[in-house]
Amino acid sequence: MKKQLAVLVVIAIAAFLAGAAKPETRRYVNIPRPGAVSNLPFSDGVIVGDTLYLAGRIGIDPKTNKPPADAEQEAKLALDGIQATLHEAGMTMDDLVYVQVFCPDVTQFPKFNTVYRTYFKREREFPARAFIGSGHLLFEGRFEVQGIAVKR
């Protein structure tokens, strides 16, 4: 009886370890980026299971390779980039569960929020979010947006 129990325990542990050792399938999501940001060494998103991890996006004007003069237009371009990555992954903005926004000048918070609200279908059902005062951003950006989405 002890021998049978020991064999069952060994089989259970082996089955558990075999399951734990399986690497989760990953799918990399990339969309075309303009000019200066076209060939950076990272993916726009990585899907693991039903979860998409989104890289940071800055609102770059493809004509100038710089953020536009208008903060709201820059927020729109950054969020358009997030939305395009979500679309490529078969998701929408409503699949976002967490968003981080980095901003060197937190007085831009109201301008960002004005644009941000327009990207969601349901009022008062927004993803959890952090708006973080930061140091300088790449390409002189005002906002860098990143997030996590889970397929509904």
In a domain, 1, yes or no: no
Domain count along the chain:
1
In a domain, 67, yes or no: yes
CATH number at 122 reads: 3.30.1330.40
Structure tokens given for 146: 């990143």
In a domain, 18, yes or no: no
In a domain, 13, yes or no: no
Q: Is 90 exceeded by the pLDDT of residue 107?
A: yes
pLDDT for the residue 133: 96
pLDDT class for 131, splitting at 50, 70, 90? very high
**pTM of the predicted protein model:** 0.81
In a domain, 65, yes or no: yes
In a domain, 58, yes or no: yes
Closest by CA to 75, choosing from 110, 44, 39, 38, is 110
In a domain, 14, yes or no: no
Query: Where in the sequence is the domain holding 109, given as residue range(s)?
Result: 25-150
Cα–Cα distance, 139 to 9 (Å, whole number): 57
Average per-residue pLDDT for the chain: 86
Q: At what angle do helices 109-116 and 71-88 cross, to 10 degrees?
A: 40
